[in-house]
Structure 1
Amino acid sequence: MTNGSDNSMSTRRLNQVRNSFYVYLPRPWCEQHGLTKDSEVRLQALPDGALLVIPPDSGTRHAQDAVLSVTSQTSADIESMLTGAYVVGASSVSVRFNGPIDMSMRERISEWTHRLPGFEVLDESVDHVTVSDTSEKQMVMPILKRQFSTTKYMLGVLVESMKTNVLDDVHRIEPRDNDVDRHRYFVERMCHLALTDTAYARRVEMSAADCLHFSVAAKKIERVADHVCGAASELIQLGGVDKSIAKIGEGIAEVYDDTARVFFSTDRPKRKDTVTVSSDDESFDLVRRAHEMARRIAQVETAKKGLGPSLVLLLMHLERIASYCADIGEVAINRLIHKQMLSAMVTEEAE
């Protein structure tokens, strides 16, 4: 809070009435936001101990969500349905299908969403895709989740193709890598804004540590996606792999799923929430498993004689994916320790 529209700081003496303290708000600031004696402001306690006074005109508009139910008969109109929801002002559009969504449909939704300024695909699962407006409040965490999610589906298609040796969808993997790259740049841009604009950082609730962790994670996920594409290219050259190699791919997919879950389970602490970090935490277990998976793949590379160059390269890509999962797990450990430090700081202030 400042005296007016500039960035000057002011000092106010606390006053006391019975058991409560109060402070006068600067009149220029109140006039700037149209406040009267009947107005309400919001108070937000920040992790660093500061108290933020938020005027009512700083809020965003109420979100308007739309749900599009798509069947095999209406799937041809998906572009028109998305455009209609966009034009009428929907903030979020959940596109739900009555069965699993194939890669071709996912590409159509992703490509059309690029034509709708401010809209991004923020989540996807087996049978639904969620498209949301990020133009009013740029959201780092949902975009980062989207990057994890896209890479998960790329890896899933790769592993399923390795298991079945049916390569029809493998060529669809590489175009999705463009989304992963785009979201990495988006996360880095938002982190840069948060580090250089404290007002923006407060609005999106990002600390400097968050910026570091998110930026590193986005870079690592981008590298995972690159290696998925590399592995897909070698799989096409091979025409298929045996069951032992496919089993390695399944193990990689499991480690990646746990990587995403562990990373996003480490949230900002609540007040008076005490966190104890130990080597028994699942973040440490994930790092150990990922390193072990990378070591096992390296052993396969050296133990099997006569491996062709494409199979050697495929195994190398899988090994790098496991190593990057370990790197992301280490970022999750850093987030966990940072959470403990903030919790201890809050508890100390309360006492």
Structure 2
Amino acid sequence: MEIRKVQETGKGTLFTTLPKEWCRKHSITKGSILSIEVKDDGLLLLYPFTKEEKPSEITFPYEHDKLYEVIDNIIGAYLLGYNVIEINSKNSLNIEERDRIRDTISKLVGLEIIEETLNKIKIKFILDPSELSPDTIFSRISFISESMMRDVIKAIEYNFDNRILESVVKRENELDRQYFLLIRLLRTILVRPKLSVQYSISPIEIMDRRMAAYFVEVVGDLTANLSEEIGKAFTLLKESDMTRFRGLMVGVIEMYHKSITAVLKKDRRYAQGVSDGYEKISKVLPQIQKEDVHLINLLDYLLKVSKAAVDIADLASALY
């Protein structure tokens, strides 16, 4: 952080100097126009004025024995906010390679192939970041993960309905798509100050929302795995065990819902009792472990979900 002294002209105008390195980096010279945004919390945002932002582009060479690298590159470029991604190969891309690339693109919201030849694939992000909302996407992934947990309970109530359990696993894919979109948007906001003003979100809030989204994605993974485990173990479980498990899971969902609400409403009071719920489950596990090894494996998933709920609640407590 730099500290600069405010000076005053003879006519009472206040001014200060700009950092030389920043001016050099952004080609700021005499006569350059700057954009200034004043925020309610006292923050003053100053950045170079641009009439139209050029879409960021990146090109990757492709070697046929390293398909995994180009897949990683596409995902990485997407998350870093590149608008145009081009894959170039010296030789023709075969059907399997094209299918793998298309499959990757289908998992990333907003990406479309705009040009394709024998040895080149050009991909473009077609959504306008200014029309997206971090809160809306965060609410979406939170809803998906919570609905996945509620459907696990529904599957248990319907005598371990495999169709419901399978739908829980499949829904994880949509959660991942929205999660990647949110990460891309948050990173875009960091490098485009105008968007941070539009969404009234500070850099520290962006970092914490990024962490909260990560925990939500973890909950989705855990719930999908839990659904698969229940499908395998239901014949080994007693009805009394599943009644106990269902009761604990209802409590975990309530904890999770409180944590998400605290983040969205920016009010830590909504997260009261979340830590106590985690401690309760932690104490129950050793007791059950002595009674039924099959149930303890399932309860371990609940413990991890409840820990994620605590982590999300902590973010709300730290921020607001």
In the alignment, the residues of structure 1 paired with residue 192 and residue 128 of structure 2 have an alpha-carbon distance, to the nearest angstrom, of 18
Shift of residue 51 of structure 1? 7.6
Out of 168, 173, 179, the position equivalent to 1:173 is 168
Equivalent position amino acid for 2:275 in 1: R
1:319 to 2:303 alignment: yes
**Partner residue of 1:251?**
251
8 Å CA contact 1:159–1:253 kept in 2: the answer is no
In the alignment, the residues of structure 2 paired with residue 331 and residue 187 of structure 1 have an alpha-carbon distance, to the nearest angstrom, of 17
Equivalent position amino acid for 1:295 in 2: S
Shift of residue 183 of structure 1? 2.2
In the alignment, the residues of structure 2 paired with residue 28 and residue 320 of structure 1 have an alpha-carbon distance, to the nearest angstrom, of 53
Q: After superposition, give the CA deviation of every residue in 1:275-294 in whole Å (9 maximum; x if it has no partner).
A: xx8xxx443x2332332243
**Partner residue of 1:264?**
264
**Partner residue of 1:212?**
207
Q: After superposition, give the CA deviation of every residue in 1:164-184 in whole Å (9 maximum; x if it has no partner).
A: 424131110111111222222
8 Å CA contact 2:37–2:45 kept in 1: the answer is yes
8 Å CA contact 1:157–1:170 kept in 2: the answer is yes
In the alignment, the residues of structure 2 paired with residue 136 and residue 159 of structure 1 have an alpha-carbon distance, to the nearest angstrom, of 38
Q: After superposition, give the CA deviation of every residue in 1:43-68 in whole Å (9 maximum; x if it has no partner).
A: 85342343889x9x99xxxxxxxxxx
Q: After superposition, give the CA deviation of every residue in 1:141-191 in whole Å (9 maximum; x if it has no partner).
A: 111111101101101101222234241311101111112222222222222
Equivalent position amino acid for 2:210 in 1: S
8 Å CA contact 1:287–1:327 kept in 2: the answer is no
8 Å CA contact 2:109–2:181 kept in 1: the answer is no
**Partner residue of 1:77?**
none
Out of 291, 294, 317, the position equivalent to 1:305 is 291
SS at match of 2:291: coil
Q: TM-score, normalised by structure 2?
A: 0.58
Q: How has the CA–CA distance of structure 1 residues 282 and 114 changed in structure 2, closer, same or farther, with 3 Å as cutoff?
A: closer
**Partner residue of 1:231?**
226
Q: After superposition, give the CA deviation of every residue in 1:184-242 in whole Å (9 maximum; x if it has no partner).
A: 22222222222333333223322111111111001101111111111111110123653
Shift of residue 15 of structure 1? 7.7
Q: Which runs of 5 or more residues in structure 1 are unaligned?
A: 1-10, 34-41, 59-112, 119-132, 268-276, 337-351
Q: How has the CA–CA distance of structure 1 residues 297 and 321 changed in structure 2, closer, same or farther, with 3 Å as cutoff?
A: farther
**Partner residue of 1:145?**
139
SS at match of 2:168: helix
1:53-92 equivalences in 2 (<5 Å): none
In the alignment, the residues of structure 2 paired with residue 329 and residue 323 of structure 1 have an alpha-carbon distance, to the nearest angstrom, of 10
Q: TM-score, normalised by structure 1?
A: 0.54
Q: RMSD over aligned Cα, in angstroms?
A: 3.8
Q: After superposition, give the CA deviation of every residue in 1:28-53 in whole Å (9 maximum; x if it has no partner).
A: 869xx9xxxxxxxx985342343889
What is the percent sequence identity of the aligned residues? 15
**Partner residue of 1:335?**
319
8 Å CA contact 1:290–1:325 kept in 2: the answer is no
In the alignment, the residues of structure 1 paired with residue 134 and residue 10 of structure 2 have an alpha-carbon distance, to the nearest angstrom, of 37
